[in-house]
Amino acid sequence: QVQLVESGGGLVQPGGSLRLSCAASGNIFSIIDMGWYRQAPGKQRELVAVITSGGSTNYANSVKGRFTISRDNAKSTVYLQMNNLKPEDTAVYYCNARRTQLNYWGQGTQVTVSS
């Protein structure tokens, strides 16, 4: 089993920056990849960024060039550096960890970009 805890959300002005953190615990060596998703009220949850066990990354088109996902294996933590934030980035951001045929989710952290 894997447990995920997010932190770093908050209120920021357009053009500002935030850094989200996700600390993983449990059977962390079974994780294939980790990523960040977000969900705004009334909208479907969408993939923001993912990083695989091999270090490959992928981003949603809406955040390319602004967001960077990274991983600190020694601390079992994944980060999302968010720069040049826009109001449309406002959402609850969820950390995700994937094993074969199995996914784990954090509790979510609110990011609000005003306005």
Rounded Cα–Cα distance for residues 55 and 65 (Å): 18
Structure confidence by residue, pLDDT tens digits, 1-46: 899 999 999 999 999 999 999 999 998 888 889 999 999 999 999 9
Structure confidence by residue, pLDDT tens digits, 69-79: 999 877 789 99
Rounded Cα–Cα distance for residues 81 and 19 (Å): 4
- More confident: 51 or 101: 51
At 75 the three-state DSSP class reads helix
Residue 51: beta bridge partners? 34, 57
- More confident: 81 or 52: 81
